[in-house]
Amino acid sequence: MGSVRLGASHPTNEAAMLKSEAKRRASAVADLDPLYTHFANINWRRNIWWIDVPLSKVDADKATCIELLLFDHRRHELHHLRVPSGYLLAHLDGLTVRKKKAEVIQLELSANLRCLFENVAPVASGVRFGQFLEHTLDTREGG
């Protein structure tokens, strides 16, 4: 297997999962729309999953849900969250929207067990995503 460039997200290749692998594993238990599926490994410096969701995808007329695949290398778990677009739109005031190439909702979801899947930026926004957990897959099992 070739080496994977990981940047600041992970110190070693062993700690990361590729998006293609996450989608393959999650597709075994869920019907994912590739256009609305987003993936993140834990950012080891901040203990969060950092996901940019283009605001153009968060439109009730285009998609009913945004799929989040979040890999936790410490517990060997891949979490699948199915977040209704309406929830994101209703909570935009508690989320960070940034202009990159296009406007994106920048999610910073906590990987700490006491506040798992809670958006931590802006601080104390109170926007939680745990209620949208569909599956948690043990990635140590064959695959």
Give per-residue pLDDT as tens, 92-122: 999 999 987 789 999 999 999 999 999 998 7
pLDDT of residue 60: 64
Quick check: is 76 in a domain?
Answer: yes
Quick check: is 118 in a domain?
Answer: yes
Task: Give me 5's structure tokens.
Answer: 């460039």
Quick check: is 37 in a domain?
Answer: yes
Task: Give me 127's structure tokens.
Answer: 């926007």
pLDDT band at 3 (very low <50, low <70, confident <90, very high): very low
Alpha-carbon distances, residue 26 vs 15, 33, 115, 119 (angstroms): 18, 11, 23, 22
Quick check: is 57 in a domain?
Answer: yes
Residue 2 confidence (pLDDT) above 90: no
Q: Average of pLDDT values for 29-40?
A: 92
Give how many domains the chain has, as a whole number: 1
Model-level pTM?
0.85
Task: Give me 38's structure tokens.
Answer: 């987003």
Quick check: is 1 in a domain?
Answer: no
Residue 59 confidence (pLDDT) above 60: yes
Quick check: is 55 in a domain?
Answer: yes
Quick check: is 80 in a domain?
Answer: yes
pLDDT of residue 6: 42
The answer to whether the beta carbons of residues 17 and 6 sit under 8 Å apart is no
Quick check: is 2 in a domain?
Answer: no
Residue 108 belongs to what domain range?
7-138
**Region class of 7: left (phi > 0), else alpha (psi between -120 and 50), else beta:** left
